A = this chain, B = another copy of it.
């Protein structure tokens, strides 16, 4: 399954499906159709069926998808049937918000250490974590088999932090700093940028006004 090339767009939609399926599961809903998923997630049902067909024949005609079976499959596809340790660098407001978020994360990715270079922040408690100095980062990453790095430092420091994370053996980086990072091709980098969400939202402002009566349902790919 994993050997097939799957586009990043599909991979990025899987957590969105997973989140809603988890909600359904919590409400003890047993099955869901691609129509219902499409309505809730503002996506085309045909797109959803196509996405899920990449990974196998999950749906049953006239019944829909078995919620807990689909959750299990998506979690497996996303490697979430194992615990994945992550480290966060930069304990400012955003870093603290993300570390706190740990508690809400039902999935198996866990922030197990937080680092900062600011002496005022080192030693500070964020939930169960204590902010550690940068000097301890490489050892901590190796010791706890940490595979993902989350960067929440200012843009000017981000490349230096990325280099240190990669040097310590990190395989993938989630970058919140508003800058483009250089990395070897085998290191996966996702840019997490709230401005992207916000700026793309602006596109729909005037659009909605021009054709709001006949354009009620948003047209997604």
Tell me if A202 and B5 are in contact (CB < 8 A): no
> Does residue A32 face the partner (Cβ distance < 8 Å to B)?
no
> Does residue A113 face the partner (Cβ distance < 8 Å to B)?
no
Known contacts A9-B221, A195-B105, A210-B3, A203 near B19 by CB under 8 Å: no
Chain A residues numbered 90-136 whose CB sits less than 8 Å from any CB in chain B: 92-94, 96-98, 100-101, 104-105, 107, 109
Tell me if A12 and B196 are in contact (CB < 8 A): yes
Tell me if A202 and B78 are in contact (CB < 8 A): yes
**A179–chain B nearest beta-carbon distance, Å:** 8
Known contacts A7-B219, A84-B202, A207 near B2 by CB under 8 Å: yes
Tell me if B107 and A199 are in contact (CB < 8 A): yes
Partner pick for A148 among B195, B198, B212, CB 8 A cutoff: B198
Chain A residue total in the interface (Cβ 8 A): 81
With a CB–CB cut-off of 8 A, which chain B residues contact A86?
Answer: 198
Q: Mark A62-97, 1 if CB is under 8 A from B, else 0.
A: 000000000000000111100010100000111011
**A157–chain B nearest beta-carbon distance, Å:** 14
What are 16 contact pairs spanning A and B, CB under 8 A? Answer: A2-B210, A8-B200, A10-B221, A11-B203, A18-B199, A19-B196, A78-B200, A93-B93, A93-B97, A98-B194, A109-B199, A150-B198, A171-B208, A172-B204, A172-B205, A190-B201
- Chain A residues near B (Cβ < 8 Å): 2-3, 5, 7-12, 14-16, 18-20, 23, 40-42, 77-80, 84, 86, 92-94, 96-98, 100-101, 104-105, 107, 109, 147-148, 150, 155, 171-172, 174, 176, 178-180, 185-186, 188-212, 216-221
